[in-house]
Structure 1
């Protein structure tokens, strides 16, 4: 974080100096953000589990409070298939319950796009 805080009074000279340096500071900000994008993208790949299309559908319905049977009816498949997807989702999130999956997914913003 770049801070321009100072213990000195904000004088006309300080304003003029800041105005002269503002283009360079803006460029520095833009370069820092651009440089961070690659790191951030790599970090998100680690934090956000890769889910299949069907797992995303199950996650959406799970977050809506649907039971395994209800999801099987909505997605036109067996309860065993839903349980298979749920097991994979829990494994990818590294948790043991549906509540924990929903909590983690909401925290990292997956439910906005699921």
Structure 2
């Protein structure tokens, strides 16, 4: 069998100062899911969640935005992420999610 040798060469990088190392990243995307609100009554009842986005990425038209979305929108997002990037994205169950909004996606 042929032996495999790991490539241990380092990437060429520029020296960092403290501001580079600990300052804000040059590109960022912050997403916060919070503030669940139940809407409707009886069988027509559902919960929406507030989603806040902050970014400096040029692909986004707005630097900050806030929307409200239903649980089914997170299910759609999960399927799109899995389809497009082959990531394993887990969201909590619908009933449990309403009590634990901070645990939307697995690490």
Please give the TM-score of this superposition, normalised by the length of structure 1.
Answer: 0.23
Larger CA Rg, structure 1 vs 2: 1
Query: In proportion to residue count, which structure has more helix?
Result: 1
Query: In proportion to residue count, which structure has more strand?
Result: 2
Which structure has more relative contact order (CA 8 Å, sep 6+)? It is 1
Please give the TM-score of this superposition, normalised by the length of structure 2.
Answer: 0.24
